[in-house]
Amino acid sequence: MSQSLHFFTPSSLTFSKQSLPKPSCNRRFPVTTLSPKLISIKASTSADPNSSTTPPQVLISDNGTGAGEILSSTPQDYDTPPSQSFLSDSSSIDVDAVTEVELKENGFRSTRRTKLVCTIGPATSGFEELQALAVGGMNVARINMCHGTREWHKRVIERVRRLNEEKGFAVAIMMDTEGSEIHMGDLGGASSAKAEDGEIWTFSVRAFDLPRPERTINVNYDGFAEDVQVGDELLVDGGMVRFEVIEKIGPDVKCRCTDPGLMLPRANLTFWRDGSLVRERNAMLPTISSKDWLDIDFGIAEGVDFIAISFVKSAEVINHLKSYIAARSRDSDIAVIAKIESIDSLRNLEEIIQASDGAMVARGDLGAQIPLEQVPSAQQKIVQICRQLNKPVIVASQLLESMIEYPTPTRAEVADVSEAVRQRADALMLSGESAMGQYPDKALAVLRSVSVRIEKWWREEKRYEAMELPAVGSSFSDSISEEICSSSAKMANNLGVDALFVYTKTGHMASLLSRCRPDCPIFAFTSTKSVRRRLNLQWGLIPFRVSFSDDMESNLNKTFSLLKARGMIKSGDLVIAVSDMLQSIQVMNVP
């Protein structure tokens, strides 16, 4: 026997599902098209999970008194092959080739929930290397416009696209802007420069002739010599190398090395006075420089999936960029990620995250702007706010720094990765480890295995955190979607279901489910490739591209048969399905 509860709000009028007005296709249900609102919660669990015959669906309405009324009875035959109308384009389902293998081999429970972002650099820019990363679980490839030429990045984008087309991956592309904070020049082509204890180096806005004179560093910020004072401490890359300012001669600033080390091209520079970061005119530098705008035009033209903005200071710049993108790209589905890596971004955290489509805890620069010991609490706070505001969050930088040189991570690095997974960040990011390290695939494998292990541990221990998830939407329709998602996630945990299914046009309903961090994976069905790629950044979502209609019964039939034919689900699997077209929750065994 199967049953279905319909809750009617605000009045208790009863309709059958069939009498509902047709929802508009492209958007989430507008409140005005449904009056009164109908939410159907349909439980059609067959008594015998292995039974191959599907019980008839009986819809029972609940008018608030608990007394059910039978509205319709629909015999189902899920084993019917897809009808003609599903053939051609609509007869197929696209899913990541790696996920497909993982699902078949290990089942739903062991799929990785935490997403992985890899920075692409000289070590990984070839087709074969990119393919190895995709096979290793890379969900998003990040290109950092601080380095390389647009031509170079364009070739990487083309290779990723080819990989997706030819090999069945859905790797998304994130372009990261340079930003206009102070940094060193490119060392005249050298791969690094070594500063020894006590050496005197000259930092200058001067563009030195090539070959670069010994112990000179070019600085990109015109106000550098004016802003620093003798006695200031100059930190390269957040303290990897330190200098003390000893003399200023015109544009040249002489510094003595106090902490020796290797300086990499375009390393970031900060200066400190009496224990705090000095922010003079550099605080007025634009977040998006003129070079960044050109890079953004490039990203829009190339149709990247995400643009990450470095050194965001306020929500205003995010709003500005979003309207710029909307005006320039026809379908404007490029998501904007705010990098939290400056004191200003911490000050305006909530409004920045609210304005963005996601955030990155960019610990590299953040650790150069606030004392290192404050970085962990900042990370936890950013991850938490993103979760509350329903924005994906990436934890980035130095997760496995030692693996740039060594094939195994330190214990401390594994603990750091575990902590980010335990905080249930959406994604972890590799920087130098994958861009220029010696063991990019090994580093990715460590992120993957630590994620899977910690996620499993967390589920076994039932470590449900008591995080309040406040309402994020503004309309009544939004509230219904949020309630549906939190209820179905809770039901999924309590009933031990195998997977949550969500049919979503914009991806919003999938993100609301992801936000609840349920125990089971979330199969997110969407009809466009770009939404599918974007969902790849969000915790626990397995994005599929499939065409579907507003008729949930036929969507389910079609999905079940397509997934069964691919061996990705089997009869008896327990599934909860929700959709953003018909706001409903259905519980059923795969027939």
Ligand X SMILES: C=C(OP(=O)(O)O)C(=O)O
CA distance 47 to 55: 9
**Tokens at 167, concatenated:** 């090999």
Length of the chain: 591
Could you tell me the smallest distance in angstroms from the CB atom of residue 584 to K ion? 43
CA distance 206 to 420: 42
For the chain, counts of helices (H) and of strands (E): 17, 27
- Residue 91 and residue 557 in contact, taking contact as beta carbons nearer than 8 Å: no
List binders of Mg ion among 365-394 (CB under 5 A).
365
CB closer to ligand ADP, 148 vs 185: 148
Q: With CA atoms as reference, report the closest residue to 115 among 430, 354, 440.
A: 430
CB closer to ligand X, 242 vs 363: 363
CA distance 454 to 452: 6
The answer for residues whose C-beta is within 8 angstroms of residue 462's C-beta and 6 or more apart is: none
Could you tell me the smallest distance in angstroms from the CB atom of residue 364 to Mg ion? 5
Among 55, 358, 364, 540, binds ligand ADP (CB under 6 A): 364
Could you tell me the smallest distance in angstroms from the CB atom of residue 435 to ligand ADP? 3
Check binding of 58 to K ion (CB under 5 A): no
- Structural Rg of the chain based on CA atoms: 26
Q: How far is CA 206 from the centre of its chain?
A: 40
Interacting partner of 505 out of ligand X, K ion, ligand ADP, none (Cβ under 5 to 8 A depending on kind): none
List binders of ligand ADP among 117-136 (CB under 6 A).
119, 121-122
Task: Label each residue of 253-276 as H, E or C.
Answer: EEEEEEECEEECCCCEEEEEECCE
List binders of K ion among 310-329 (CB under 5 A).
310
**Tokens at 576, concatenated:** 């909860």
Check binding of 150 to ligand ADP (CB under 6 A): no
Check binding of 310 to ligand X (CB under 6 A): yes
CB closer to ligand ADP, 96 vs 178: 178
Number of residues that bind ligand ADP (CB under 6 A): 15
Could you tell me the smallest distance in angstroms from the CB atom of residue 378 to Mg ion? 14
Check binding of 341 to ligand X (CB under 6 A): yes
Residue pointed to by tokens 């005249």: 188
Could you tell me the smallest distance in angstroms from the CB atom of residue 1 to Mg ion? 58
CA distance 508 to 27: 10
- Residue 115 and residue 537 in contact, taking contact as beta carbons nearer than 8 Å: yes
CB closer to ligand X, 245 vs 360: 360
Q: How far is CA 9 from the centre of its chain?
A: 35
Interacting partner of 397 out of ligand X, Mg ion, K ion, none (Cβ under 5 to 8 A depending on kind): ligand X
Among 99, 397, 561, 586, binds ligand X (CB under 6 A): 397
Among 41, 255, 337, 362, binds Mg ion (CB under 5 A): 362
Stretch that binds ligand X, among 90-98, 245-253, 295-303, 360-368 (CB under 6 A): 360-368
Q: With CA atoms as reference, report the closest residue to 321 among 330, 147, 359, 312.
A: 312
Could you tell me the smallest distance in angstroms from the CB atom of residue 117 to Mg ion? 14
Stretch that binds ligand X, among 58-66, 203-211, 277-285, 357-365 (CB under 6 A): 357-365
Among 34, 170, 263, 264, binds ligand ADP (CB under 6 A): 264
Check binding of 345 to K ion (CB under 5 A): no
Residue type (1 letter), 410 = T
